[in-house]
Structure 1
């Protein structure tokens, strides 16, 4: 049974690489400047993004901030990435950042039909919802800005498993505000993020892991969660962590998710919950004079209903094989670092 290497990566505004939705699928001109990265070019971004993928050689890529159309993602993988691929984009109406998936089909690791995709636009559990997020007796209405990607993969040989790709509500505040208003926006963003994680756990994951038709099918939950371990200053005000809500309740340990990167940390780091050197994104903080901040907000999580150690080798690739930082080797790639893990689905 071959090991399947999965990569989860926020590829940062991939939609900028392509022309308008009402035109045939095509890249923008090589020398054009992407709207959200004006200091680079389409050609430079394509070369850096594909360079990372070609070096890490994954079998499955979960794409966060993917393009609007499946044909666009397919064009990128067909043109710029080594091997043969089958792709899919889970489109969300009105979005220009969508979740996508690419499965490599020329290595003999998957069946002739490598993937079955479930359109989450047709699943009521991912529609707008109401919830009292912070137990203040006020019912709030929320939605998923970007619908999750949900797919079933068919290894050969090996048992099938499923994958859910997430890009939850961003905490980012990208304008200048009076301090009290800034805090209100920060709390509001975290409420939305916590609400999304809560409904994913209560209405999807708990049901998935207890329903007869899915309880024995292992599931990967990966992507840009926009949250990490513990409570930041704003989360302390609403008494909730989206990440820990998503992973599950200690009162139902058999339903909790594992974290591939945590599993790979040194024993002392795990014992002390020391995550100071663990980060998956790096960005300038406009509130603090553009100081570079580092956060662990991208994750590969997994259910515990698979074979023993069915997910292993969780790695955040801040450096490439040469020892160079990713942003040195591939300077036009992304402000997020890719995460990989090895999957051994059994069977």
Structure 2
């Protein structure tokens, strides 16, 4: 079975308010890419992946006049995908939802949010002392993680959590000191969200639940100067340590090789410096019991993956489709876990 995570830049701009595809020459949310070109590119990428389930980060908006599930299922029909059913969790106000597109002939998936002890549901508020001042701060997710209960055709049951953690830019800052203060506060909130997510992970692992945590954590080893200030990145917090650590070989490689080459899953144009920045942002982390099933990870990077590079049409599609590249996990889930 193939599981994927894919951050699709401004997928929402490809649909009208009725959920129909805007398959025309208007500009998409990607610089210099038309809507029809992005749709063609995404269609090629999704068909090449042929995944049983895709955790879509920045999925189309859910709101009074928008429907994430309808939009994704419309795209699946247009692209001729077997992953043609969609599910969403708690909607957010960013026009960038978290949703799963999956093959209903292979798995069933339902939103199943959890809440326990002092760790509330992800649409609620989490209390934590962020700055050791004996006063609890109230933390919320701008994009609540998607918690899913999954059952495969082979009767294997597991949980998936799709996440999009993000440290906001220092909006409103006009001086260097304000930029520093707001940036540190935003990073502190992101780490608090990671602690909240890890607490949920810890509960599942303690109960012996098979688990996948995937998505865009927008944080990682060596990504910026604030990591040294706080000591650990969100990735390290979510992975955990010891016998209840999650496994993602790309994350582990990045953490072990801070000064060397690391895998990357995204490619951004830095306008001021007139160059591209590549970063490792997207992950599929699995619990120890799933890691024992000999899973195989792959980053569909058009410049680094030999098969993607050799297929010119797919290579170009990956570049046009998004500023992130898919990550897939091939794993045997034919038998109960």
Contact 1:311 1:341 in 2 (8 A): no
In the other structure, the counterpart of 2:73 is 74
Please state whether the residue corresponding to 1:209 is helix, strand or coil. Answer: helix
Q: Which of 312, 322, 337 is the aligned partner of 1:334?
A: 322
Query: Mapping of 1:175-214 within 5 angstroms?
Result: 177-202=174-199, 204-210=200-206
In the other structure, the counterpart of 1:229 is 221
Unaligned runs of 5+ in 2: 62-67
Question: How big is the shift at 1:125?
Answer: 2.6
RMSD: 2.8
In the other structure, the counterpart of 1:32 is 26
Please state whether the residue corresponding to 1:162 is helix, strand or coil. Answer: strand
Is residue 302 from structure 1 mapped to residue 286 from structure 2 by the alignment? yes
In the other structure, the counterpart of 2:112 is 118
**Closer, same or farther in 2 for the Cα pair 1:315/1:177, shift >3 Å?**
farther
**Closer, same or farther in 2 for the Cα pair 1:270/1:198, shift >3 Å?**
closer
Distance 1:275 1:313 in 2: 23
**Closer, same or farther in 2 for the Cα pair 1:311/1:177, shift >3 Å?**
farther
Please state whether the residue corresponding to 1:305 is helix, strand or coil. Answer: helix
**Closer, same or farther in 2 for the Cα pair 1:332/1:154, shift >3 Å?**
same
**Closer, same or farther in 2 for the Cα pair 1:139/1:119, shift >3 Å?**
closer
* 1:190-210 CA distance string (max 9 Å, x none): 1121010011112x1122222
Query: Mapping of 1:144-163 within 5 angstroms?
Result: 144-163=141-160
Q: Which of 56, 62, 76 is the aligned partner of 1:63?
A: 56
**Closer, same or farther in 2 for the Cα pair 1:231/1:330, shift >3 Å?**
closer
Please state whether the residue corresponding to 2:20 is helix, strand or coil. Answer: coil
Length-normalised TM-score, structure 2? 0.84
Distance 2:195 2:280 in 1: 20
Query: Mapping of 1:1-347 within 5 angstroms?
Result: 4-20=1-17, 24-34=18-28, 36-37=29-30, 39-68=32-61, 69-83=68-82, 85-106=84-105, 109-110=106-107, 114-119=108-113, 124-126=120-122, 127-170=124-167, 172=169, 177-202=174-199, 204-210=200-206, 215-229=207-221, 232-248=224-240, 250=241, 253-262=242-251, 276-286=261-271, 289-306=273-290, 309-310=292-293, 312-319=295-302, 321-323=307-309, 328-345=316-333, 346-347=335-336
Question: How big is the shift at 1:290?
Answer: 3.9
Distance 2:255 2:230 in 1: 26
Unaligned runs of 5+ in 1: none
* 1:284-331 CA distance string (max 9 Å, x none): 235x5243211111111011134x622521111112625258663444
Question: How big is the shift at 1:262?
Answer: 4.8
**Closer, same or farther in 2 for the Cα pair 1:105/1:297, shift >3 Å?**
same
**Closer, same or farther in 2 for the Cα pair 1:293/1:331, shift >3 Å?**
closer
**Closer, same or farther in 2 for the Cα pair 1:281/1:171, shift >3 Å?**
farther
Question: How big is the shift at 1:172?
Answer: 4.7
Contact 2:296 2:330 in 1 (8 A): yes
Please state whether the residue corresponding to 1:124 is helix, strand or coil. Answer: coil
Q: How many residues align?
A: 320
Length-normalised TM-score, structure 1? 0.82
Please state whether the residue corresponding to 1:198 is helix, strand or coil. Answer: helix
Please state whether the residue corresponding to 1:7 is helix, strand or coil. Answer: strand
Question: How big is the shift at 1:258?
Answer: 1.1
Distance 2:278 2:172 in 1: 20
Question: How big is the shift at 1:332?
Answer: 2.1
Contact 2:92 2:144 in 1 (8 A): no
